[in-house]
Amino acid sequence: MMKGIVVEKKGERPFLVWSDVANVDYGSDEVLVAVKATAVNRADLMQAAGNYPPPPGASEILGLEMAGVIEAVGAGATGWQVGDRVCALLPGGGYAEKVAVPQGMMLRLPDEWTFAQGTAVPEVWLTAFVNLFQEGNLQPGETVLIHAGASGVGTAAIQLAKNIEARVFVTSSQEHKLAHCRELGADLAINYKEQDFLAEVWAATGGEGVDLILDPVGGAYLDRNVKALRRFGRLVTIGLLGGGSGQMNVSLLLFKRLQIIGSTLRSRPLAEKIAINRQFEAQFWHKLVSGELQPIIDAEFPIEQAQAAHDYVAQDRNVGKVILHIT
């Protein structure tokens, strides 16, 4: 047996308990990692509530990323050895003492990095990377609107977009969050509770709109998102925090020749995720290692306080990542 997070019910409310779970097996092309840190993502909250089951074959344990130390290496896993410090994106299983990771999904931690820094990278930086550049085709000089700019994905997306010299607009709900976004390079920071983001985008672009929108909100923003796009603009929807249904002016889709793209990362085939991981490593990992780009960490909790960490994220208190430490 090992320890892992178990989702129990207290009335109608899920509650996370650090408890005994079955040991994890690892395959020939996998390594077994002793997890030292993991992190909280909105997907974890949804899964705990019973609304986001893991992909077929994935661990039922929460946790979409981790950093730790390799404990055992499968016969077919080359280039890795026991004792290596790594981080990785996972389909599940990060909220546990040990996890099996395919060799192609790992990134090697710099010696000077903490495990908290390592686990703050995989889920949000790979999500931002694939949706800005592969799905959204963001180009230097273009303008991108990033909703939830102070989230983990948002703070990564701001830095990635600015790194290629794109113009960045963000939305958030609180002034201190908007200030953090500005510090990361946002050119325009919009308080969506006090300002109409569509009006602000039009004003800032002379009525032309933005080239790309990265949106975790979904239905509630659909119509205004479409109106905020300029000709040949792209809307990449990565979440449904504002609901799964919305209305829009379809004529704008035609006349402006827009693209609406739905995107998830967790359910993609392993080979596709390995390719994304390697492309991100080749293009941006060295910039994180050098400090040119920074994983943003808001708060850290011991794994035994995972429920408190989930509550913290559910209350929308974080700017960047919330980390869980496993000792």
The per-residue pLDDT for 166 is 98
Distance of CA 315 to the CA centre of its chain: 18
Q: How many domains does the chain have?
A: 2
Average pLDDT score, the chain: 97
Work out the average pLDDT over 120-143.
98
40 in Cβ contact with 324 (< 8 Å): yes
Work out the average pLDDT over 26-49.
97
Q: Do 188 and 253 lie in a common domain? A: yes
Confidence of residue 242 (pLDDT cuts 50, 70, 90): confident
Q: What is the CATH number of the domain that holds 71?
A: 3.90.180.10
Q: Do 67 and 33 lie in a common domain? A: yes
Q: Do 133 and 258 lie in a common domain? A: yes
The per-residue pLDDT for 306 is 98
The per-residue pLDDT for 243 is 87
The per-residue pLDDT for 182 is 98
242 is in which domain, residue-wise? 124-262
The per-residue pLDDT for 122 is 98
3-state helix, strand, coil in the chain (%, to 5): 35, 30, 40
Q: What is the pLDDT of residues 109-125, one digit of tens each?
A: 999 999 999 999 999 99
Within-domain flag for 75: yes
**All residues at 6 or more sequence positions from 22 whose CB lies less than 8 Å from its CB, including other chains:** 1, 2
Q: Do 92 and 177 lie in a common domain? A: no
Largest CA distance in the chain: 61
Q: What is the CATH number of the domain that holds 242?
A: 3.40.50.720
Confidence of residue 101 (pLDDT cuts 50, 70, 90): very high
pTM, whole model, 2 decimals? 0.97
Task: List 170's β-bridge partners, or say none.
Answer: 146, 189
Within-domain flag for 16: yes
Q: Do 9 and 98 lie in a common domain? A: yes
Of 9-18, 24-33, 52-61, least confident by mean pLDDT is 9-18
Within-domain flag for 288: no
Closest CA to 183 of 225, 154, 218, 212: 154
